[in-house]
Structures are given as structure tokens and as C-alpha cells.
Structure 1
Amino acid sequence: MWRIHDRFDVMLNRLLAQHVATAGERLAKPDFLDLVAADGAAGGEPEHISKAAIKGFIADLFVAGTDTSAIVIEWAMTEMLRKPSILQRAQEEMERVVGRHRLLEESDIPNLPYLQAISKEALRLHPSTPLSIPHFASEPCEAGGYRIPGNSWLFVNIWAIGRNPDVWANPLEFDPERFLSGEMARVEPTGIDFEFIPFGAGRRVCAGKQMGMVMVQFILGSLVHSFDWSLPVGAVEIDMEEGTGLTLPKAVPLSAMASPRLKPAAYADE
């Protein structure tokens, strides 16, 4: 662990040094790290943020936000390949909003409700963290009618909440439509609606939930928009076995064939 920590620290120091060296290029539009670093340099109390704290924050983004986003995207692609009609509808939405002459941009996402619904449904059925980060009750308390003894560790089963048949109709079916109409259309993964808490809730809610949703929607949308997808020749079924660990990847990685669907100029611009 210490060896990994040292390697990570070298990378973060290099990243921060490069960011400081190019700060002049972002004077008109500073990014989040510029603002945090400026606050740290000012040294004002109580807002002062040390370099170590900044590196810890970046490390959290890398460690907590990399495989989790990739896992949700892979499960979403898997479900769409199992149900090509969902993939086709998503591409038709892209056709109307973006077209085939350019690549998807982040600013397009608010105009793509079906893509958003696919992302939410993937988070519901395949949460990247099936159990919440551990919580600790230092004193006895009561929550939701349950008595929690003092000095207890608590884990919230996010996986089971998203598959609860008392809350979700046909809970094992991948159906993005449930987030577009009907009772569950109001539900958002922000930690307010307890029927759907892939990022947790309360003061311990994931600090990167908004960035995580944007990352999943943008990368998934780019894959759907830029390419046509099919199973490898001879493949009949997709293995849906879940892996094990703190996160919930597929036990067998998805294998799929991609072919370009946009005009050649769109890829050339990139």
C-alpha cells in the first residue's frame, strides 16, 4: 500500500505542477482546481485548503470515480445489446438532437432524456457500489423505526433497494421507460429519493455524484452516437454474471463489435 501511495503521490505532484505551469492559459475561465489551488495559496482561515488536502481530493476522484463509472457504462452497453430496440431508440434520439455531422457534446445531454433514462436504469439495476460506504453509529439511535445499537457498523444494501419488488415494477427488467413516465419518473439519483440511492444519501452522499452522472451519460452517449454495435460473430448470449468486490463489475467483460455510424468528417474533427 505504501508503494502504491508513493507512486500515486509522484503522479499527483506532477499533475499539480503541470496545472500551475499552465494556469495563465485559463485566466479568463479558471477550472475547479484553479479555484481550489488559489484558495490554498491565499491561506485564509477557515477556508484554507492545504496541498495535501488537494491531493487527497484528486486521489478520491481517481480512485472512487474511475472504475465505478466504467462499470455502469459497461452494464448499460450490455443491456442495450441484449435489447437492441433500446439501443435503436437511443440512436434515433441522437439523430434528432445531434445528427451525424458532429460528435456528441456535453451540452447536448440535457436534450437527451432517453439517454439519461438509460443511465439511471443502469445505476438502478447494476449499481457500481452494491453496498454503501460503511457507516458507524457511535451511540444508540433509531432510524426508520429500527433500533441501532451503539458502536455498530452499518451497510446499506443499495443493490437490493434498486431491485425491491415492493417499489419497482418488474424490477429485474431493464426498462429505461420507467424513468420517463409513471410514478418513478420523478425519482432522481441525488440521495433525496430513498427508492434510488446509487450514490448514497445524507451527509455521506458521494461528493462526485453530479460529475459521475455527467461522465456516465457523456461517455455512454458518445459510444451510442458514434458507433453501431453488435455481438461478435457466433455469439448468442451475453454472460450476465456479476463479479465480486467493493464494486460490481461483470464477471466476464463485455465483448462487442463497433462500426462507425457518423459522417467521416465528424471523426476527422476530433
Structure 2
Amino acid sequence: MMSFATMAYALLLMGLVILHNIIKHFWYKSAKGKPKPLPLPLPLPLPLPPGPAPWPVVGCALDMVRNKPPARWTLRWMEEMDTGIACFCIGNTHVIPVTDPKIAREFLKKQDATFASRPVSMAARAFSGGYATAVISPYGEQWKKMRRVLTSEIICPARHKWLHDKRADEADNLVKHVFNQCKSLGQVNLRHTTRHYCGNVIRRLVFNKRYFGEGREDGGPTIDEEEHVDAMFNALNYLYAFCISDYFPFLVGFDLDGHEKVVRECTRTFQRLHEPIINERIKQWRDDLSSDSNGKEPQDLLDVFIMLKDSDGKPLLTPHEVKAQATEIMMAAVDNPSNAVEWAMAEMIYRPEFLKKAKEEIDRVVGKERLVQESDIPQLNYIKACAREAFRLHPIAPFNVPHVALSDAIVAGYRIPKGSHILVSRMGLGRNPKVWNEPLKFKPERHIMSDAVEVVLTDPDLRLISFSTGRRGCIAMQLGTTMTVMLLARLIQGFNWSKPPSVSSINLIKSMDDLSLAEPLILQAEPCLPNHLYPI
């Protein structure tokens, strides 16, 4: 539906055209001899997307502060105004949220080169080592360099295959850890379990180790791993959260909203746990001149980063770049799979017929004499449909990682000024009633076209966002898909799940602070496979 501002603009433009034609008609009629050409009126500038009236100087900052969390207020305003694109002015910055898939495709696919930068922010600067990385750094030569490194050397099919055994070990450790919890407690905290599985996987891929120090025999985390995962989730929660000093830089240092303290604490945790490993490995590879001659092969992604050489045979990445990029990779891997699986399990316990159908598929494809393997993923369409539905209905964040306009642009008939922050809404796309039938219901079947068509977790039409797309999109979709499906499939195959006796029903309410479940999902679990399949 056309907004009032757009209608007013169109009517005004039509009126000016009619007035111009009337004047032109009488000018030509009254002129003697050859008429002089009448200059055309200058076209009116296109309007900005609709948005609330900003306050002088501060724009909508006061509304953001008053209506927390700001993301929900933003989406609620757009829903009430029935618009798929809006503009919220905060200081001198135009923040443009999008909930319409067609408009999202124009930003992230048709004009993705124009919107290929990232915002400058206090948290992004801290976690990227001063913008030394590939994912959250603004557009520029450093981003291009690190992006080339990731796509050619780190996140590529050959490297994914090379790291298969490490992922398989962590899938086995997941089953072992849950089995031990069943024996000792009878109940499993699925938030804790899913998050630490993701933390284990990415630590194995980057550092070739599950534990920073001495491990535990039951496969569970120690205090260091607990603090590591907590720091990663806190960092992600604050990375692009509304922070007043990001829009009014003169306020940096006052920490009016408490973000700077949290960011400093997360950074200290990363430095304490990561840097001893990285420094020691750099010493082994670069300072020990005999390492190459001994025919030593890389064992993990950290080795690959350190071994990369430029055209002159010198190290391609500085120690600072290695540390920053290792941290960014870890942060990028943990939240999406763990959140989707926790929500999927909650929905499936709430509606046991979904869980039964998923278990039947695994029994049919895999059987009960072996554990699910990555090679089974293409045949597990219903499992993937459940994960995809969790991504649609319960995304990890209200918005995708922000994009920044590198130049003025026109999208959906609106003017998008240079420097605008584009926020494509995961929640707005996935729950859009114009796209999805019964958008607030968990219905995995909606993603299954036929038995002959493989279900994938991504959506090229941007009706949902599991892993982002475009020039600044997620380049580790294969890894994210593998982690998500293996986590969900192993949990469903290996155990019978039910709500604890003390719980009357599963609570599907979202947290007030973010989009995770309000309370961690704690379930009763019983092993259901032959004993020899549970790793000891």
C-alpha cells in the first residue's frame, strides 16, 4: 500500500507537471515568432522511506532509549504502519530496517555492491582488532584481503572435507556428554549442551583442541570453556546492539548504556584464552626455521593462517590479523546452530508428533545400528525442514548484520542516502504474513516440496534468513548447515526426549532481552540405542 508521504509526493509532482503544461501552452500561444523554449522544472527529490518524526539533533535516539529493546519497537512501528521499509533518523544517521523480501533482495542481491560496507561501532572495532577482519570490517582493502583469505584458504569445500574428522569427533563427544548426563542427572540442559557443542566444534577447527587446559572425562566443559562460550554470546549480543555512542561519538568513554564495560570484559577473556595458543603456534611455525624442512603439515585453521605466504614468500598475515580473525571465526560459528536447535527441540516437545516424525526419518535413513553421519545429511529432509522452520520462526537476532550504503541509491522508489545503515529483519522476513501462511505456527512441512527435492537451510528469495547472502553474506553456509543438522539429528537419534515430570508444559515464550527462549530448555532424556553406540 502506498504511504501517505508517497501519495502526497506523487500528487504534488503531477500537479507541477500539469501546471508546467498549462504555462507552456499559453507561452507558446502568446509568443511572437519562434517561441523560446521553456526550461523544465527541477525534479523533486525522492522521499526517504516512511518513519517516525525525528526530534531535532538527536532524531529518534530518545525513542530508542525509551522503548527497549529498540529492535522490537522498530518492528512494531513498521507493523502498525504496514510498511516493509522504514527510516529512523538517529543523529545524522539514517537507519533503514526492511521486512519485505522483495526489497531485501534489492538491497542484498541486485544492489549488493552499493551496500557492501559495515557500520563503524565501538564493539565492532574492539572485536575485529581495529577492523582487521573479514566479516565486521567496513569496505576497503583490509576487508578485501581478509575476504580473499577466507574464501580461498579457510572456508572452501576442500578445507571443509579436510576438517571432517574433527567435526565427527565432536559429534561423538556430544552423544557421550548427553549420555553421561542421562546417567548422572536424568535431565539435560539443552541450551548448555547445544552452545558447548558449537563451541567445541569451532575450537577444534581453529585450535585443534576441545579444552584450553585439562579436560573432563564426561565430555563436558570446564570453567575456561564455560567462560569462553559466555564471552562469545555476550560479544554477539552487544556487537550491533543499539549503543548511543555509536551515533554520537563524543559520548565514547562515558559508557552511558554500560556496553563498553561488557565489551572490555569479553575482549579480555578472548585475549586470555586465545593469545597463549596463537603466540606459541606462531613461534613454532615462524621462529623455528626447521619446521618447514621437517615436513610438518598444518593441523587446524590456525596453522593455515600462520603458514600463508605473500608473493615474496613472507607471512601474509600479521600476528594481530591472525588473532583478530581467529576470534571473529569463533564468534560467527556458535549462535545460529545452537539457538535453532534449542528452539526446534522445544517446539517438537511441545508438539510430539513432530519429534516422532523426525525420529522415524532417522530410523528409515540411518537405522539403529550406527550413528548419523555427515554423509546422511542430504537424505534427512524432515530434520532439515525442522531446522529451517526454527530459523524462520525463531531467528537468533531481530536483524541481520548491518550493511552501509557506499553511495546514494534508490530502492523501492525511495531515496537511500550514502552512509545509511540497512537492517534486514530476520524476524520481519520470517514472520511476514504476506509471505507465510500461519506465520506464527511451527510447521516444518511447509519447507518440503517433494521427496525428490532436497531441503536446504538457505532461501535464495530471502523469505527467511538462516545464513546471510550477498557480497557481505555468510561464506560458511556449508559449515553452519553441517553443525546445525548434525546437532539436531544426533540429539533426536540417540535419546528419547520428554518434558520433566515437574513441568506441566513447555514454555515457548521469548526472552525479554533477546530472541532466545525465556528460560533454558531442560528436558528428560533416556538413551534409546544399543549401548555400544554411546562413546565411552
**TM-score category of the 2 structures, normalised to the smaller one:** 0.7 to 0.9
2:163 matched residue in structure 1: none
The CA distance in 2 between the partners of 1:80 and 1:200, in whole Å, is 26
1:5 matched residue in structure 2: 267
Structure 1 residue 19: Cα displacement: 6.4
Q: 1:92-143: per-residue Cα shift (whole Å, max 9, x none)?
A: 1111222222222222212211111111111011111221112222432112
Equivalent residues of 1:189, 1:196 under 8 A apart: no
2:376 alignment partner, SS class:
helix
The CA distance in 2 between the partners of 1:117 and 1:48, in whole Å, is 41
The CA distance in 1 between the partners of 2:495 and 2:455, in whole Å, is 30
Relative to structure 1, the CA distance from residue 153 to residue 186 in structure 2 (aligned partners, 3 Å threshold; closer, same or farther) is farther
Equivalent residues of 1:191, 1:202 under 8 A apart: no
Relative to structure 1, the CA distance from residue 26 to residue 82 in structure 2 (aligned partners, 3 Å threshold; closer, same or farther) is farther
Relative to structure 1, the CA distance from residue 191 to residue 50 in structure 2 (aligned partners, 3 Å threshold; closer, same or farther) is farther
Is 1:216 the counterpart of 2:500? The answer is no
Q: What number of residue pairs does the alignment pair up?
A: 263
Equivalent residues of 1:187, 1:193 under 8 A apart: no
289, 297, 311: which one pairs with 1:44?
311
Query: What does residue range 76-155 of structure 1 map to in structure 2 within 5 Å?
Result: 76-155=344-423
The CA distance in 2 between the partners of 1:52 and 1:61, in whole Å, is 14
1:204 alignment partner, SS class:
coil
Equivalent residues of 2:306, 2:315 under 8 A apart: no
Is 1:265 the counterpart of 2:532? The answer is yes
TM-score (norm 1): 0.84
2:520 matched residue in structure 1: 253
1:257 alignment partner, SS class:
strand
Relative to structure 1, the CA distance from residue 49 to residue 121 in structure 2 (aligned partners, 3 Å threshold; closer, same or farther) is same
Structure 1 residue 237: Cα displacement: 2.1
Is 1:168 the counterpart of 2:436? The answer is yes
**Equivalent residue letter for 1:249:** S
Equivalent residues of 2:398, 2:515 under 8 A apart: yes
Q: Which consecutive residues of structure 1, in runs of 5 or more, have no partner in the other structure?
A: none
Relative to structure 1, the CA distance from residue 169 to residue 186 in structure 2 (aligned partners, 3 Å threshold; closer, same or farther) is farther
The CA distance in 1 between the partners of 2:352 and 2:315, in whole Å, is 51
The CA distance in 2 between the partners of 1:187 and 1:112, in whole Å, is 8
1:35 matched residue in structure 2: 304
Q: 1:52-106: per-residue Cα shift (whole Å, max 9, x none)?
A: 2232222123223223322111101001111111111111111122222222222
The CA distance in 2 between the partners of 1:249 and 1:93, in whole Å, is 27
Name the larger-Rg structure: 2
Query: What does residue range 226-245 of structure 1 map to in structure 2 within 5 Å?
Result: 226-245=494-513
Structure 1 residue 264: Cα displacement: 0.6
Equivalent residues of 1:104, 1:222 under 8 A apart: yes
Deviates more, 1:8-17 or 1:64-73: 8-17
Deviates more, 1:42-51 or 1:228-237: 42-51
2:410 alignment partner, SS class:
strand
Deviates more, 1:105-114 or 1:140-149: 140-149
Structure 1 residue 181: Cα displacement: 1.5
**Equivalent residue letter for 1:11:** L
2:447 matched residue in structure 1: 179
Q: 1:132-156: per-residue Cα shift (whole Å, max 9, x none)?
A: 1122224321124332133322211
Equivalent residues of 1:117, 1:176 under 8 A apart: yes
Taking every aligned residue pair, what percent have the same amino acid on both sides?
A: 33
Relative to structure 1, the CA distance from residue 90 to residue 8 in structure 2 (aligned partners, 3 Å threshold; closer, same or farther) is same
Structure 1 residue 47: Cα displacement: 9.4
The CA distance in 1 between the partners of 2:414 and 2:356, in whole Å, is 45
441, 450, 468: which one pairs with 1:200?
468
1:64 matched residue in structure 2: 332
Equivalent residues of 2:347, 2:442 under 8 A apart: yes
Q: Root-mean-square deviation (CA), in Å?
A: 3.0
2:421 alignment partner, SS class:
strand
The CA distance in 1 between the partners of 2:512 and 2:328, in whole Å, is 21
Equivalent residues of 2:384, 2:456 under 8 A apart: no
**Equivalent residue letter for 2:306:** A
The CA distance in 2 between the partners of 1:25 and 1:129, in whole Å, is 45
The CA distance in 2 between the partners of 1:61 and 1:78, in whole Å, is 28
The CA distance in 1 between the partners of 2:406 and 2:280, in whole Å, is 43
The CA distance in 2 between the partners of 1:231 and 1:3, in whole Å, is 36
TM-score (norm 2): 0.45
Equivalent residues of 2:387, 2:457 under 8 A apart: no
The CA distance in 1 between the partners of 2:333 and 2:434, in whole Å, is 31
Equivalent residues of 2:340, 2:484 under 8 A apart: yes
The CA distance in 1 between the partners of 2:499 and 2:382, in whole Å, is 23
Relative to structure 1, the CA distance from residue 170 to residue 19 in structure 2 (aligned partners, 3 Å threshold; closer, same or farther) is farther
Equivalent residues of 1:137, 1:149 under 8 A apart: yes
Deviates more, 1:9-18 or 1:124-133: 9-18
